[in-house]
Amino acid sequence: MPAGIFNSTYYGKDYRAGAALLRARRPYLFKNAATGLGLCMFTIGVYAYTIRAVGQDEFSDVKVPDAPAAAPQQSKQ
């Protein structure tokens, strides 16, 4: 029995989902959409919270030197 997508009853010769595949996926459509939307909202919420938390930092406690430090000279031996 050869394996492959063309021997599947779920896909047609043009790689489109067949009626059987659409019927098999139908009970899970709403649950999968709700789960995907929930994951997207959670990701956006974490991103927004992180940006807001970092944006509040003023860095007033960080000391910035007036001039850049000179690199130490290496002696040749």
| Residue % of the chain over a pLDDT of 70 | 86
Cα first-last separation, the chain = 76
The predicted-structure confidence for 18-40, as pLDDT tens digits, reads as follows 898 999 999 999 999 999 999 99
- pLDDT bucket at 7, cuts 50 / 70 / 90: low
Tell me what percent of the residues of the chain surpass a pLDDT of 90: 39
Report the DSSP beta bridge partners of residue 17: 11
Distance CA(6)–CA(14), nearest Å, equals 9
Q: H or E segment at 73?
A: none
